[in-house]
C-alpha cells in the first residue's frame, strides 16, 4: 500500500514537472535568423555568437535558429522577406539596396575612408546607427523594419581578369559593384552588374562580369583566385550589412529582451570584425599562394585614384537632390565628422 502511495506521488511529480517544462518551452521566443554568408564566415561568427549569447543571458527565454547561405531567401530579396515575415531576422546589404535607401548609401561613397582596423571598422558600424538615431529622414527610410545593428565590412578592393592600374582602365569592363562604387566605374567608362559576393564566382566564371569589388575575406570563401588574376589593393569604399528584424516580431518581444538584443548586437561587432580581418589575411595569403598578383599603388598612383573618387561626393549629393532628399548635405557632413574622429583615435 505504501509502495503504491509513493509510486503515485512520484508519478504526479514527474507529470507536473513535464507539464512545467512544456509550458516553459511553449513560452520560449523562437527567432529565425537568415543570413547570406557561409555558416563559418567572419560576419556570421559574430551573428551566431549573438544568438547563443542571447539564449544564455536571457536564461533560455529566447532561442535563435540560424539559416546560413540564404537558405530561407537570398540577399537581394532580404528586405522584402523580412517585411513580410519569412524570417524574423536577416542581414541585408546597403550596396544591393542603395537606390532604395539613398541616405544610408552615404556609407559607400569611396572618398570618405575609415581606418581598416578592428576599432575603425566597428566605429563605422556604430556611426551608421548614430546616423539613424540622429536623422528622422533616415528613420523614415528604415521604418518598415527594425535595425538591430550594423555589421560594417572591411575595405573593398578590386579583383579582375585583367590589370586595372588607373581609373580609365575600367573602360570596356563589366564589374560587380553597386551604389557609389558602381557610379564611379560608370564615370570611368565601365559597366556594372549589381551582385552580392556569394554570386561572384559563377558570374566571373561565365563572363557576366570581368571583375568584382569585394574584400579579401570573400576571396577565401568564394575562391576568386580561380576566376580572376589581378587585385588592385586600394580601398573602393566599404559596404554595411544592416541586421534587420521584422517589425511585428520585434514588437512582440518584452522590453528587457529588446534591450539585451541591442546591447549584444554592438558587442558582436568586434567578434565579426576581428574574424573578418583574420580572414582577409588568410585570403591574401591564399591569393598569393595561388600565384595571383596584388598591385599596391604608388603614392602618385594613389593620388590619381583619390582625385577620381572625389566627384562621387557631388554625384551622391546631386542624386539625393533629384530625389528631393533634403538632408543629404547634413548627413554627408556628419558621416565625414565621425570618420575623421575615428582616424584620430
Chain segment 109-159, per-residue pLDDT in tens: 999 999 999 999 999 999 999 999 999 999 999 999 999 999 999 999 999
Q: 49 and 140 share a domain?
A: yes
Q: 186 and 227 share a domain?
A: yes
Evaluate whether residue 266 is within a structural domain.
Answer: yes
Instruction: Assign residue 312 the CATH number of its domain.
Output: 3.40.190.170
Q: 60 and 89 share a domain?
A: yes
Q: 167 and 229 share a domain?
A: yes
| pLDDT computed for residue 217 by the predictor | 82
pLDDT digits (tens, 9 = 90+) for 175-211: 999 888 899 999 999 999 988 888 899 999 999 999 9
Sign of the torsion angle spanned by Cα atoms 47, 75, 217, 147: negative
Evaluate whether residue 18 is within a structural domain.
Answer: no
Evaluate whether residue 7 is within a structural domain.
Answer: no
Evaluate whether residue 6 is within a structural domain.
Answer: no
Lookup result for grid cell 575615428 = 342
The number of beta carbons lying within 10 Å of the beta carbon of residue 322 is 9
Least confident of 11-15, 212-216, 254-258, 268-272: 11-15
Q: 172 and 295 share a domain?
A: yes
Q: Are 328 and 102 in contact (CB under 8 A)?
A: yes
| pLDDT computed for residue 23 by the predictor | 36
| pLDDT computed for residue 215 by the predictor | 87
337 CB-near residues (< 8 Å, 6+ apart): none
Q: 259 and 148 share a domain?
A: yes
Which pLDDT band holds residue 161 (cuts at 50, 70, 90)? very high
Evaluate whether residue 104 is within a structural domain.
Answer: no
pLDDT over 80 (residue 61): yes
Q: 272 and 292 share a domain?
A: no
- Domain holding 296, by residue range, is 157-237+281-344
Domain total in the chain: 2
- φ, ψ for residue 139 (rounded to 5)? -60, -35
Distance of CA 279 to the CA centre of its chain: 15
59 CB-near residues (< 8 Å, 6+ apart): none
Evaluate whether residue 2 is within a structural domain.
Answer: no
Q: 168 and 270 share a domain?
A: no
Q: Which three cell numbers stand for residue 70?
A: 540564404
pLDDT digits (tens, 9 = 90+) for 140-153: 999 999 999 999 99
Evaluate whether residue 93 is within a structural domain.
Answer: yes
pLDDT over 70 (residue 162): yes
Which pLDDT band holds residue 5 (cuts at 50, 70, 90)? very low
What is the value of pTM for the model shown? Answer: 0.84
| pLDDT computed for residue 26 by the predictor | 53
Q: Are 72 and 89 in contact (CB under 8 A)?
A: no
Amino acid at each position: 500500500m505504501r509502495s503504491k502511495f509513493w509510486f503515485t506521488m512520484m508519478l504526479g511529480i514527474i507529470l507536473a514537472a513535464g507539464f512545467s517544462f512544456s509550458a516553459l518551452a511553449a513560452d520560449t521566443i523562437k527567432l529565425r535568423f537568415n543570413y547570406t554568408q557561409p555558416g563559418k564566415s567572419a560576419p556570421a561568427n559574430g551573428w551566431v555568437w549573438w544568438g547563443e549569447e542571447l539564449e544564455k543571458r536571457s536564461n533560455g527565454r529566447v532561442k535563435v535558429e540560424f539559416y546560413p547561405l540564404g537558405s530561407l531567401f537570398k540577399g537581394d530579396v532580404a528586405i522584402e522577406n523580412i517585411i513580410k515575415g519569412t524570417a524574423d531576422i536577416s542581414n541585408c546589404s546597403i550596396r544591393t539596396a542603395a537606390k532604395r535607401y539613398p541616405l544610408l548609401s552615404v556609407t559607400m561613397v569611396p572618398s570618405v575612408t575609415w581606418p581598416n582596423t578592428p576599432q575603425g571598422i566597428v566605429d563605422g558600424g556604430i556611426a551608421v546607427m548614430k546616423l539613424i538615431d540622429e536623422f528622422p529622414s533616415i528613420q523614415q527610410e528604415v521604418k518598415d523594419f527594425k535595425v538591430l545593428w550594423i555589421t560594417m565590412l572591411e575595405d573593398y578592393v578590386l579583383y579582375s581578369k585583367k590589370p586595372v592600374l588607373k581609373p580609365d582602365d575600367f573602360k570596356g569592363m563589366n564589374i560587380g559593384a553597386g551604389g557609389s562604387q558602381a557610379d564611379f566605374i560608370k564615370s570611368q567608362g565601365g559597366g556594372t552588374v549589381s551582385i552580392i559576393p556569394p554570386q561572384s564566382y559563377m558570374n566571373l566564371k561565365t563572363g557576366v562580369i570581368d571583375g568584382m569589388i569585394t574584400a579579401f575575406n570573400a576571396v577565401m570563401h568564394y575562391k576568386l583566385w580561380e576566376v580572376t588574376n589581378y587585385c588592385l589593393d586600394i580601398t573602393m569604399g566599404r559596404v554595411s550589412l544592416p541586421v534587420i528584424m521584422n517589425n511585428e516580431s520585434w514588437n512582440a518581444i518584452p522590453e528587457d529582451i529588446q534591450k539585451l538584443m541591442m546591447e549584444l548586437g554592438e558587442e558582436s561587432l568586434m567578434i565579426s570584425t576581428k574574424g573578418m580581418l583574420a580572414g582577409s589575411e588568410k585570403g591574401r595569403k591564399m591569393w598569393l599562394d595561388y600565384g595571383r598578383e596584388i598591385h599596391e599603388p604608388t603614392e602618385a598612383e594613389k593620388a590619381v585614384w583619390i582625385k577620381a573618387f572625389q566627384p562621387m561626393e557631388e554625384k551622391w549629393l546631386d542624386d539625393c537632390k533629384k530625389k528631393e532628399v533634403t538632408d543629404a548635405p547634413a548627413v554627408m557632413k556628419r558621416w565625414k565628422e565621425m570618420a575623421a574622429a575615428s582616424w584620430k583615435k
